[in-house]
Chains A and B, each alone.
Chain A
Amino acid sequence: MAITPPSERIWWKEPISKIELSWVIIAFSWGLIMFFMMIYWHGAGEQNLSSEAYKIKPEQFAAKTQAMIDAHTVREESGFPVVRPPAGSDVYLTGRLFNWWPILELEKDQSYRLHLSSVDVQHGFSLQPVNINIQVHPGYDMVVTVKPDRAGEYGIICNEFCGIGHHLMAGKLYVVE
């Protein structure tokens, strides 16, 4: 029994039943398939998160965001600047207590280098309804190249608990034709 010492003293020499051995082999092979699937997707898939990131001081990141806002704001909405940076450029999104700053307007099927960082605590960038979720850390500038493939209005929710106003922290992003 499992609650008594093995009845065979030399249990490691017991033969293994065929059915058990087969399952071990199947399960091991499945593990390999899942392992190589991740590698395969780096070549064949289009959704792979970048590992490009830089250390940055919060005030530096805020300044870069502000520079982009100053150069490319096209209108204002509920007190947020709506910024339309040129296709292919570096765009900045700052997470802060309790909003995503500013509102970005991107062009469909164009690539952007999206910089994400926080100026205070950790936040969670959660783009809805596409459901892309990226953790945002203070002190780290994470660069993700995104290519929006559907026009529309998107919500950006904070999905890392960041304080008492966490549930107020919603932002917006537009993708236009």
Chain B
Amino acid sequence: MSSNTVFRTCPTTGLKVDLAAEKLIKANAVAAVIFLAIGGLFGLLVAMTRWPEVHLLPADWFYLALTAHGLDVLLVWIIFFEMAVLYFASAVLLNCRLAGPRWAWTGFALMLVGALITNVVVLQGGSSVMFTSYVPLKAEPGFYLGIILFAVGALIGCFVFFGTLVVARQERTYEGSVPLVTFGALTAAIIAVFTIASGAIILIPTLLWSVGLVNNIDPLLYKTIWWAMGHSSQQINVSAHVAIWYAIAAITFGARPLSEKVSRTAFLMYILFLQLASAHHLLVEPGFSSEWRIFNTSYAMYLAVLGSMVHGMTVPGSIEAAQRARGLNKGMFEWLRKAPWGNPAFAGMFMSLVFFGFIGGISGVVMGTEQINLIMHNTLYVPGHFHGTVVAGTTLAFMAITYYLVPLIFRREIMFMKLAKLQPYLFGIGAAGISVFMMGAGTLGVSRRHWDMQFADAVLPFDYPSAAFLMMGLNGMFAILATLGGILFVVVVVGSVFFGRKLAPDEKPSYPEVPPQAVVVAEHGSAHTLKIPGTTMLVAIFFISFVLYYFVNWKYLSEVWPLS
């Protein structure tokens, strides 16, 4: 059955790599980066329009660009890259052939065709309905059709991943349980199936409605099911990028999870509870009971948040333990100070971890509090939050692992290493700035998805406070910074993939340096030897920030009009 599968052996890790899987990883990663470039460009145009002094695009182009930006980066870039991650975490990490490479190519083709259709339809101008396409706003049928094809393709990719897990088990290509990173990818794939099913349930009728075969789609029903796709798809990202954090920690430091049990349980929390997140978008909608809102918005008593908080300690904790085992034992933070900050994979990964927790994570929980949502819903606070999670968190982590994929999977040396070293800082700080300043503007009431915060042509004028204008200016400046980081990423990656020096079949690339297994301490998984004071301090700072910020927002809420 597997007789025609061709493997090579990775000179760096000793893993057997199925060449069919390798090709698919390459194709998906390249498609992902292309759409990141397109979507990122639209993002820059959006930010330049929202900068009041620049106000670049006319209104119709602004709404078009914003629709395309959301689709191309939030959906297309991220899901293509996730397909690459799934194939990597199954076939490569499990030393196994990929199940049904033809199916995987079919999935890839569907995703590509779907993404192209939707992009073309959006660019034609009649479908500027935003990524969320809330009914009764109506887009051209091709808009929904493209997304559906894309989703079906992604679903096929998920099943290829599941199939590969089965093959690996049957052919005994690994011992014991699957690696933690594969387990994280499995979490992502399970959530993806739920996500795509929700998408099909709502988008297929919506497609029929847009061609006139269905009369009416209830807007509230649409929103409830759409967000079972829309928000859950972001939880795929969370699972995938947390798996990548662990992977980068392992490849860079030989880090071992502090406890397999705790980390795996944390992933399990995602599978069990993250799907309730649709409620985050329904906190100020008509007709939901408070009981329903409270239970769902908190992921059943914050159990999924618990999962993320656990990863937030175990990932840096495992790095600290590995560094200390290597002798970087002085004081609280020698392990962190002497971490390889010039390695773009590590720098990107660590910033992703910090920004995801401090900016995206805390703001998400606060905004998702039943009552507090009232002072944030649909303001710029919302995109501020999710640029903290999806851009400073997921995208930065995906960029970081790409620096390892290029030499290890594409077998090319990284070109422009000096630029690559700078890239995560530019992009990370830019993305963090975008998030913070949008959140600031949102706190001052500025609406999201809005062309003109000066209301120049409105019959009844309205003025935002001048601080809000300052926030939008700063947002624009940091968007330029992030764009520069994005351009550097595309230049380095595309340059290396197509023009970088080809590595000889048995050549070990000089980057990344993967520590030999022997350096890994065997003991720090046990309860006796573990000392991670630096991580404990970081976690304490995080926790105090979280608690303070949470109650500050209750204070803000208590100052608005009483309402019931």
Interface residue ranges, A against B (CB under 8 Å): 1-9, 11-12, 14-20, 23-24, 26-28, 30-32, 34-35, 37-39, 41-42, 45-51, 53, 78-80, 99, 103, 116, 120-122, 124, 126, 128-135, 137-142, 144-150, 155, 157-164, 166-172
Contacts of A158 in B (CB 8 A): 447
Tally of A-B residue pairs with Cβ under 8 A?
Answer: 310
Which 10 A-B pairs rank lowest in CB-CB distance, beginning with the nearest? A31-B302, A53-B286, A155-B462, A142-B286, A159-B447, A53-B287, A2-B246, A46-B562, A11-B260, A15-B527
Interface pair B520/A1, CB less than 8 Å apart: yes
Interface residue ranges, B against A (CB under 8 Å): 13, 59-60, 63, 93, 128-130, 134, 136-137, 174-181, 218-220, 246-247, 249-251, 254-264, 283-290, 294, 298, 301-303, 305-306, 309-310, 313-314, 317-318, 365, 369-371, 374-379, 443-445, 447-452, 455, 457-465, 517, 520, 522, 525-527, 530, 532, 536, 539, 543, 546-547, 550, 554, 557-558, 560-564
In the complex, what's the smallest C-beta–C-beta distance from A63 to chain B, in angstroms?
Answer: 19
Contacts of B259 in A (CB 8 A): 14, 16-17, 20
Interface pair A31/B301, CB less than 8 Å apart: yes
A162 to B443: give the CA distance in the assembly, Å: 22
A171 to B460: give the CA distance in the assembly, Å: 6
In the complex, what's the smallest C-beta–C-beta distance from A175 to chain B, in angstroms?
Answer: 9
CB within 8 A of A6: which of B260, B317, B458?
A: B260
Interface pair A32/B301, CB less than 8 Å apart: yes
Contacts of B264 in A (CB 8 A): 11
Interface pair A138/B136, CB less than 8 Å apart: yes
A164 to B303: give the CA distance in the assembly, Å: 41
Q: Pick 17 A–B contacts, CB within 8 A, sort by A.
A: A2-B180, A2-B246, A16-B261, A18-B527, A46-B563, A48-B563, A49-B563, A131-B375, A132-B561, A134-B377, A135-B286, A139-B218, A142-B287, A147-B561, A159-B377, A159-B379, A170-B462
In the complex, what's the smallest C-beta–C-beta distance from B263 to chain A, in angstroms?
Answer: 8
Interface pair B526/A14, CB less than 8 Å apart: yes
The binding surface of chain B is classed by DSSP as: loop
CB within 8 A of B220: which of A48, A78, A140, A161?
A: A140
In the complex, what's the smallest C-beta–C-beta distance from A94 to chain B, in angstroms?
Answer: 14
A138 to B134: give the CA distance in the assembly, Å: 11
Interface pair A137/B220, CB less than 8 Å apart: yes
